[in-house]
Amino acid sequence: MNYILNTLANGVRVVTVPMRERTSASVAVWVRTGSRYESEKAAGISHMLEHMVFKGTETRTTRQIKQEVEGVGGMLNAYTAEESTCYFAKLLREHYPKALDVLADMVNHATIVSSEFERERGVILEEIKMYRDQPSHYVHELIGELLWPHQAIGRPISGSIESVSAMKRSDVLEYRDRYYRPKNILVAISGGVHPEDVVPRVEALFSAKEPGQASSFEKAISRQSGPRTHFLLKDTEQTHFVVGLHGLARSSPHRYPLGLLNVILGANMSSRLFEEVREKRGLAYEIRSGLHFFDDTGAFTVSAGVETAKAPQAMAVIMRELGKVCRKPVSEQELRRAKDYFISQLSMALEDTLEHLLWVGEYALCRQKLPDCDKIRANVEAVTAVQIQQIAVQLFRTANLNLALIGPVKAALEKKIRAEFEIPV
């Protein structure tokens, strides 16, 4: 793909992804800030600010913001992550200047009115409570706290009830002024647009802002000397758990073997975990593995929801599969299927203007460079079965294990689960 990267005089970066055959276009504005940039006292402030940006500007009400994009058939949304915040829209290509204008207005001129702030505080508090009532979601927050205890990267992105309750409007304004600066901003546009039109439009909307300082966060501490566990006793229909291990940073040269290892173990219905846990034994409806990449660290996770009495058996199968991939290289046929799946998923995602944009934009924001699709495919094709085994041996160590669990697990059953979890892999 012919990606185009420009940098304005004040530091705002602009990425254009021409997809001329598409009738749609997608627009996104990233800010390099998220939960990793927050103090414990201010936990959740990035997420709060994301919500408040939608609540009106100097020239648009919250209703007008939504109507200007949705009124021409588009969609408008945002997300907050550990290392970035993103505002995005997708609509027909002829309307992309409107979406760009709306997003720029939101990011640059949100008013954050006191009455709206207090109302949204209540919304976010309910959001936190809602997710705590969903064990399949909440257990992933618990695993983050185990992987990175007492660190910003391990805290929930939405913050805590205590931190959100104590947050002030002035705190949010100060945070916005500190981080929503040009050197932290990246604007990206994809789809059937004219590349020569993009930079002048972005420059007209963002050039007035002073550069400011690029943001930074404390390095993660990912060392641990033994398994960590958190069992939360709760009266639920299922027991939900996540096995988590420290992984790799997003720029690690070993990320491609790890990506294929994830496909082989639990990324789809052909995976080993799906086959062993669900298909052969019927222990879970959903069983999957996942990868999380950050600037300086990462995580590999396996999550499932099972009948409580069968949790020890499910744990035993999972740990056995983690051990098996350490002891024996995968077959050439399995490796070929994993490579085809990895490359095909990437290729199909790049057909969509929004998926393509979110991938390229985050890549450029976090890695300070543009992706090379041909090089990525070549790197995937170059991975060997031995390299996958080596990365499994490196990561799947007993001392590196973490387990978060939510369910009606009493002492005797907990002992059985622990016995299966802490066996050497």
Active-site residues, by number, are: 50
Distance (Å, whole) CA 336 – CA 319: 24
DSSP class of 54? T
Residues in contact with 386: Cβ distance below 8 Å, sequence separation at least 6, in sequence order: 329
CA-based angle 14:19:25, to the nearest 5?
70
Asked whether 198 and 189 are in contact (CB, 8 A), the reply is yes
* Alpha helix ranges (H) inside 44-147: 45-53, 62-70, 96-109, 114-132, 135-147
Nearest to 41 by CA among 215, 169, 167: 167
Distance (Å, whole) CA 143 – CA 242: 7
**384-413 burial code (b ≥16 CB/10 A, e <16):** ebebbbbbbeebbbeebbbbbbbbebeeeb
| C-alpha torsion 331→337→343→346, nearest 10 | -120
Distance (Å, whole) CA 255 – CA 391: 9
Distance (Å, whole) CA 220 – CA 165: 27
Q: What's the sign of the alpha-carbon dihedral 94, 96, 98, 101?
A: negative
Distance (Å, whole) CA 185 – CA 200: 16
Count CB neighbours of 337 within 10 A.
18
Partners of 79 in the β-ladder: 86
Where do we find the tokens 């999972």? 318
Annotate 135-198 with DSSP letters as a single string: HHHHHHHHHHHHHSTTSGGGS-TT--HHHHHH--HHHHHHHHHHHSSGGGEEEEEEES--HHHH
